[in-house]
Structure 1
Amino acid sequence: MHTLKNYHKYTSIFILLLFVAAGCKNYKAVTVKSAMVLPDTFERTTDTTNAGNTPVRSFFRDAYLLQLIDTALHANLDLQGALQRIQMAGANLKYSKSLLLPTIDFNASAGIERYGDYTMNGVGNYDTNLSPNINDKQRIPNPTPDYFIGLRSSWEIDIWGKLNNQKKAALARFLATQSGFRLITTELAAEIASQYYQLLALDLELNIIKRNIVLQENALEIVKVQKLGGRATELAVQQFEAQLAHTRGLQYTTSQQITETENQLRLLTGKFNAPVLRDTSIMTLTMPEKLKTGVPTQLLLNRPDIRQAELELTALNADIRSARAAFFPSLTLTPYAGYNAFKAAVLFNPGSAVFGIIGGLTAPLLNRSRIKSNYNYKVAEAKAALYGYQKAVISGYQEVMNSLKGMENYSKFFSYKQQEVNSLKNAVQVSNDLYLVGRASYLEVITAQRNVLDAELEMANAKKNIFLNEVSLYRALGGGWK
């Protein structure tokens, strides 16, 4: 009979486990990964030399620019926030590791309970107190105090890898925050360099405008004198004055742009109103050389945004495995050791020493829909992260190609614009000379002056764009933080 009862007990447990495991057959282990294949080269070259591996101090040569970058690396607020996110992820990693270990708590408790006369404990205790086999210290009072002092522990045995996968996810996210920190430093260095070159170009534009203001003021004085001599009309004077007013207006809009760019650099470097030291002109800077791009597969290792997306995908795959393990039974051991008695006077008596261990097997039944929802959520989240990772890879490749072509095309544009500016400056001089001898109209003089102003401004922007594309290419290759 006793054997038959044990048989039914173990059979019931076995059937329960089969029921739980059968419910998981539709939730097989899923690993979301990319099957993307990158192009072999950027420009039909297999040279693996990559400018992105160049440290920022070796890549940028301008001492003022490097000083701005150094200041930002110590004071930028976004960077400080990223450091704290690394600390948060590190703390979460330690917490996830601790889940694999047993908890041990010191416990001291006291309580009291009155047993009813018609309860199992009440009848049992009453009968025990009448036994001749116990002494006065062993008689159970009613109400009955309960004192315990000792250690209690709880340890979930990670049978299915749920806790271990949580630790792996936390580790991947910790590494992702480090890549996120490098991403911010990369973007920060690139943004400072871009704003710096923008500021140099605006300085040049302001100088060009001021120089043209002087030339146009001289031209206006000449036409006023000619009007007094009857060789020019009031219409000519008005046209020259309108052109001068337009150019003077450009002076103030450009000055505003300079102010805003300086303040943007102050924001990036964590300053309020410190002077922004810089080179004298963007035109004095040596033209950048063509950068080595390496091969596209190097983007997967060099670019922090791609690395961050890849690590987040790794973390989510671990989350999927952990969520799947929640379908299966969990085994928890709860050992304890200490002193337990119903009289305080005998609590520390050797006879009050107790120890034991309880093993509990828990399997989800009615809450399985919640576990299924969490599992499906993690799978969908991982697939979304996969698309984000693939987008980051494609964007990185396109950014490299755009910047490569940008440096090439703007360099050619700058060369032709230099020729145009030289020709237009000669045209201004010729038109002035012809106007003085009456062989050119004032409109031809105004047009020549306006054309050279526009061409000089376009030339300044062209050289700025060369440097901006150089910075963009350096960032696209994964440089800017080493």
Structure 2
Amino acid sequence: MTLPLGGCLLSGDKPEPGLYIPQAYSAGPKNPKAAEAALPSLDWWRSFRSRELTEIIEETLKVNLDIAAAVARIVQADANARIGGAALLPTANLNASASHSRSSQSCAGCGGGASEQNNFSVFLTATYEIDFWGKNRAALLALEETAVASRFDREVVALSTVVATANFYFQVLAAQDRLRVAHNNYESAQRVLNVIQQRAEAGTASPLEIAQQKSLVATQRATIPPLERTLAQFRNGLAILMARTPEQVRIRGGALNSIAVPRVTPGLPSELLTQRPDIREAEAQLAAANANVANARAQLLPSIALAGAGGYQSALLTTLLRPESAFYTLAAGLVQPIFEGGRLLGNVDLQRGKQDELLQTYRKAVISAFSDVDTALTGIRKAAELEQLQRDVVTESRRAFDISETRLREGTIDLLSVLQTQQTLYTAEDQLVQARLTRFQAVVSLYQALGGGWSPKPAEAMNAR
């Protein structure tokens, strides 16, 4: 299916993107019903079933500085649209003046003595340019579409902020999990060291074996400070998103295992075009570029302007508003550009170049969106497989370590085997935490690829009532 531009881009001499929309995602379900079984809700972050995460995200949406800056850009864009719309309306000015003059008494040949006179006037002037070729209307449309694009830009910023907040929070949980694993591993290594030292006192262990285990204990202890630093960095990152200093933010955290992994389906590819705010923003920017091209072409044509003035003028203030003091003037003018040194034609080419640039940007946004969803779907599936495989590794590594520790106490195993099982278990447990973090990040990436939350379809909204 070839992709047409939606809404405001359908009429007139507009470029067509000529893109192909797939019927289904290559990494997603092929059945349309299955693809729409679990579409992302508007408050999709609640699907992780974490009260703290929900509180943090909803607070961030209220106070984040990037979102506030995006809202300020909307205000500016709306103001520019109002300014641009003024060209479609007449301008009127009320003027009032009073003057007193006296001629020179020593003027030779003035034909008399000094004279004094007053002049009072009040009048209204008005001008209006007839937008015969749609030049001003096209300029207004460009500004209005820019204002629309600023609203989608705000949604892009808000979505990126929520995604960053969720990822930071999950990284905080992962850092806490890894710290717990590191402390547990340090304690287990210290426990094994105590057993070896007891064996050394009994004469069944050598100083070399004690030194080897002490090295492992020190290695495990050395993994803790970097993890503590990482935890602080992620907490501080959350503080920035919440527009606070680190001292003002308290993150309880917890464990990744306490977070639910939500089920989400991608819907149909054709629906993505209306859900991704970056696509809608690119579409609005392209519509603005189309209007700018129309405006540049209209500047090559004649402009017709009307002007008028009317009011009262008198030498005496008492007679200023009498009928005989009234006056008016009316005028019409036509201006046809003849020679502008190539400025107007250059402007047409400039706007066409911008139009083509934004067309390619729009095409890239659509193609990238489909690719993002496929990548996220694949990432979720592979991350789930990796997590399960890593759990199996941890289970077997834990069993091997427990057996080796028991045999060490019994004196029926060499220390090298114990060291190997310890290191294997420690690495496996740390990698399991990272695998689960990767799974959550993949789910968040899918929500972002889908454009965040989707509004319920009409049928679903009626059923919800």
TM-score by length of 1: 0.83
TM superposition shift of 1:109: 4.7
Alignment of 1:254-265 (within 5 A): 254-265=227-238
C-alpha distance after superposition, 1:195-223 (max 9, x if no partner): 11111111111111101111011112222
Mark the runs of 5 or more structure 2 residues left unpaired by the alignment: 1-11, 102-109, 456-465
User: 1:196 corresponds to which residue?
Assistant: 169
CA distance in 2, matches of 1:156, 1:145: 36
Q: Is 2:209 aligned against 1:236?
A: yes
Q: Which residue of 1 aligns with 2:105?
A: none
Residue 404 in structure 1 maps to residue 392 in structure 2: no
- Report whether the alignment pairs 1:479 with 2:465: no
Compared CA separation, residues 142 and 327, structure 1 to 2 (3 A)? farther
Partner Cα separation in structure 2 for residue 206 and residue 109 of structure 1:
81
Letter in 2 for 1:426: R
One-letter amino acid of the structure 2 residue matched with residue 371 of structure 1: L
1:180 to partner: Cα distance: 1.1
Deviations 1:322-342 (A, max 9, x none): 111001110111111112457
Aligned-partner SS, 1:87: helix
Identity %: 27
Query: Aligned match of 2:394 in 418, 421, 444?
Result: 421
Gap change, CA 1:166 and 1:143, over 3 Å in 2: farther
Alpha carbons 1:327, 1:368 under 8 Å: kept: no
Quickly say closer, same or farther: Cα 1:109–1:374, change in 2 above 3 A: farther
TM-fit CA distance, 1:283: 1.5
Amino acid of the residue matched to residue 326 of structure 2? A
Specify the structure having the higher radius of gyration (Cα). Answer: 1
User: Larger relative contact order (C-alpha < 8 A, sep ≥ 6)?
Assistant: 1
Matched, 1:65 2:39: no
Q: Which amino acid aligns with 2:259?
A: L
1:55 aligns with 2:38: no
Q: Distance in 2 between matches of 1:180 and 1:69?
A: 19
Among 66, 74, 85, the alignment partner of 2:73 is 85
Residue 339 of structure 2 aligns to a residue in which SS? coil
Shift of 1:148: 4.0
Secondary structure of the residue aligned to 1:99 is helix
Q: Secondary structure at the match of 1:106?
A: strand
Verify: 1:312 aligned to 2:312, yes or no: no
Match of 1:224 in 2: 197
SS of the equivalent of 2:444 reads helix
Structure 1 range deviating more: 87-96 or 309-318: 87-96
- The one-letter code matched in structure 1 to 2:24 is T
Match of 2:407 among 428, 434, 444: 434
Query: Which residues of 2 match residues 195-344 of structure 1 at below 5 A?
Result: 195-272=168-245, 273-289=247-263, 291-340=264-313
Q: Residue in 2 aligned with 1:134?
A: none
Moved more, 186-195 or 37-46: 37-46
Deviation string for 1:137-165 (max 9, x for gaps)? xxxx9999976421101111001001111
Q: Which residue of 2 aligns with 1:26?
A: none
For residues 403-461 of structure 1, the C-alpha deviation after alignment (integer angstroms, 9 at most, x for no partner) is 11111111111111111111111111222233344443222211211111111111111
Larger CA deviation: 222-231 vs 300-309: 222-231
1:171-213 deviation digits (Å, cap 9, x = unpaired) = 1111111111111121111111111111111111111110111
Q: Which amino acid aligns with 1:154?
A: T
CA distance in 2 between partners of 1:469 and 1:339 (Å): 76
Write out per-residue CA displacement over residues 70-114 of structure 1, whole angstroms, 9 at most, x where no aligned residue. 11111100111111111111111222222101011112357899x
Q: Identify if the C-alpha distance between structure 1 residues 230 and 167 changes in structure 2 by more than 3 Å, giving closer, same or farther.
A: same
Q: Report if aligned partners of 1:152, 1:335 keep a CA contact under 8 Å in 2.
A: yes
Query: 1:155-174 counterparts in 2 under 5 A?
Result: 155-174=128-147
Deviation at 1:278, TM superposition (A): 4.2
Which segment is superposed worse, 59-68 or 270-279? 270-279
Unmatched tracts of structure 1, length 5 or more: 1-28, 114-125, 130-140
- Distance in structure 2 (CA, Å) of the matches to 1:302 and 1:51: 15
CA distance in 2, matches of 1:142, 1:234: 124
Letter of the aligned partner of 2:86 in structure 1?
A: S
Q: C-alpha separation between the residues in 2 aligned to 1:376 and 1:112? A: 55
Confirm or deny that 1:36 pairs with 2:9: no
Q: Which residue of 2 aligns with 1:120?
A: none
Q: 1:50 to 1:107 in 2, by over 3 A?
A: farther
CA contact (8 A) 1:310 1:389 kept: yes
Residue 5 of structure 1: aligned partner: none
8 A Cα contact 1:203 1:281, kept in partner: yes
* Number of matched pairs: 429
Cα distance in 2 between the residues matched to 1:75 and 1:413: 37
Q: Which amino acid in structure 2 is aligned with residue 174 of structure 1?
A: A
Q: Residues 194 and 52 (structure 1 numbering): CA distance in 2 closer, same or farther, change over 3 Å?
A: farther
Aligned-pair distance for 1:474?
A: 1.2
Structure 2 CA distance, aligned partners of 1:381 and 1:450? Answer: 59
Three-state SS of the structure 1 residue aligned to 2:342 is helix
TM-score (norm 2): 0.86
1:136 maps to none
2:346 matched residue in structure 1: 373
Retained in 2: the 8 A contact 1:150–1:337? yes
Partner AA of 2:261 in structure 1: M
SS at structure 2 position matched to 1:469: helix
